[in-house]
Structure 1
Amino acid sequence: MKCPNCQGRNLGRIGNEQYYCWTCYLELSIEDGKMNINQIEEDGSLSSLNDIFYQSGS
């Protein structure tokens, strides 16, 4: 598995179907066969980056 942002393989597993990229500091999770990409904010909350990586067809 590679990070969709940096294409690196420096991923750590942090939970069931949850990974962390140590190169670009993104959290990746897989739900229903789709990868969700989140940025970890300073307060520990997650901000979705899916809109950047997945363009809608409309």
Structure 2
Amino acid sequence: MDPMTQCPRCQCRDVGRIGTHQYYCWSCCTEMVVTETEVRMFEVAEDGSLLEAGRVETAG
């Protein structure tokens, strides 16, 4: 699986790896979980919880 190089939400390249198949966009504060079939996006709430912000199907 290729590393995430661009945020699917804001198209920014300021994306870093935070775990296995997990990435974070510093521009729009979105956490992403990448699988073979989709990218799930989450907003980080003030209390640290994750709120689902959408998902994008990938070519698997």
Please classify the TM superposition score into its range, dividing by the shorter chain length: 0.7 to 0.9
What's the TM-score, normalizing by structure 1? 0.78
Question: If each structure's helix is expressed as a fraction of its own residues, which one has the higher value?
Answer: 1
Question: If each structure's strand is expressed as a fraction of its own residues, which one has the higher value?
Answer: 2
Larger Rg: 1
Identity of matched residues, %: 40
* Number of matched pairs: 52
Q: Which has the higher contact order (CA 8 A, sep 6+)?
A: 2
Among candidates 21, 25, 30, match of residue 29 of structure 2: 25
Post-superposition offset of 1:29: 0.7
Could you list the runs of 5+ residues in structure 2 that have no partner in the other structure?
none
Q: Which stretches of structure 1, 4 residues or longer, exceed 3 Å deviation after superposition?
A: none
| Aligned Cα root-mean-square deviation (Å) | 1.4
Could you list the runs of 5+ residues in structure 1 that have no partner in the other structure?
none
